[in-house]
Structure 1
Amino acid sequence: MAVKDYYKVSGDSIERTHQSCPRCGEGVFLAEHKDRRSCGKCGYTEFKK
């Protein structure tokens, strides 16, 4: 995905569409999979319910 796809612009505000990695911090996003979210940098994984 392109970086522009991780943000949504509405008027004067910018909103993130993906969650940031809690280990790596802001600027590193979690990849959205069917059953989980994962970080490609550190390997952090959250499973969806």
Structure 2
Amino acid sequence: MTKKKKPKNKSPSKKYAKYKLEGNSLIRAKTCPKCGSGIFLAEHKDRLHCGKCGYVQIKK
């Protein structure tokens, strides 16, 4: 019989990185218009992308 493989540990989500505090105001990252306010868009060099539904917004 083969040995059981140990499951790999998943890294925790970094939702705290999507918020920035400037002065007394809180600045949030863009959220997905299709999925709602809980899903953030990933920032790439030339676009914003939703990992859940695949929505893409091109930066200008």
In structure 1, list runs of 5 or more residues that go unmatched. none
Larger Rg: 2
1:36–1:11: structure 2 CA closer, same or farther, 3 Å change rule?
closer
TM-score after normalising by structure 2? 0.67
In structure 2, list runs of 5 or more residues that go unmatched. 1-12
Does the residue aligned with 2:37 lie in a helix, a strand or coil?
strand
Q: Is 1:24–2:35 an aligned residue pair?
A: yes
The structure with more strand, counted as a fraction of residues = 1
Say what the alpha-carbon RMSD is for the aligned residues: 1.8
Higher-RCO chain (CA-CA 8 Å, sequence separation at least 6): 1
Output the amino acid matched with 2:47. R
